Amino acid sequence: MEPTVGRVRSLQRFPLKSAAGERLDAVAVTPTGLASDRRWALQGPDGEPVTARQAPSLRESAARVSDDGLRVDVPGSPDGLTGADAEGALSLLAGRAVRLVESDGRHHDVAAVHVVSHGAEAAEDAPDGCDPDPRANLVLDLDDGPGGERGWVGRTLAVGGARLRVTRTPKHCLGVYAEVLAPGDVTVGDAVRLVG
């Protein structure tokens, strides 16, 4: 039996790139990452992406997935906006015209899944200038304490019903990036095992 190295503390997905996300008790991990994670993004009229890098105020918005699709909360607007209403409120927030673009897992910058240990910001090997809010999908409680995940590059993790291959450490962020080897369901409290 492969060693258990910790447990899933929390699960988060970010349906709209650059917006705050939602905490989940359980989620399906698909070949492209957590179901509906970064499924939507914003584009300007010229078709160029609009992210929090260009419009930092977008971080004040939040997004979640409901049975009828994407719901967006924007300060100063009613909660749960959809479609053109969401685009209008996000345009005001961003200070430029934007539209929502949907894609099946193609709005990830680097990897399908971002994994970080709880308390990793206190780890000695955290990169300089590290973002204290890494926007990770899987937050883990590790048996060896925070920051241990950074030694897993090249290893395979079994988490719930999914298997993830850790590909690299971020340059300016906590945790590690992983690709999906085998899809499956993951639940808060699931054991995390190193299997390869």
Q: What pTM value is reported for the model?
A: 0.87
Across residues 124-131, what is the average pLDDT? 56
Q: What CATH number has the domain bearing residue 125?
A: 2.40.33.20
Same domain, 85 and 128: no
Domain carrying residue 60 = 40-102
Residue of higher predicted confidence among 65 and 170 = 65
Residues in the chain: 196
pLDDT at 124 over 80: no
Same domain, 117 and 77: no
For 13-69, how does the pLDDT look when each residue is reduced to its tens digit (9 = 90+)?
A: 999 999 999 999 999 999 999 999 999 999 999 999 999 989 999 999 999 999 889
Measured in whole angstroms, the distance separating CA 128 from the mean position of its chain's CA atoms is 21
Same domain, 94 and 149: no
pLDDT winner (highest mean) among 40-44, 115-119, 120-124: 40-44
Residue 102 tokens read as 């949907």
Same domain, 26 and 50: no
Same domain, 153 and 63: no
CA distances to 34, 35, 38 from 104, in Å: 11, 9, 9
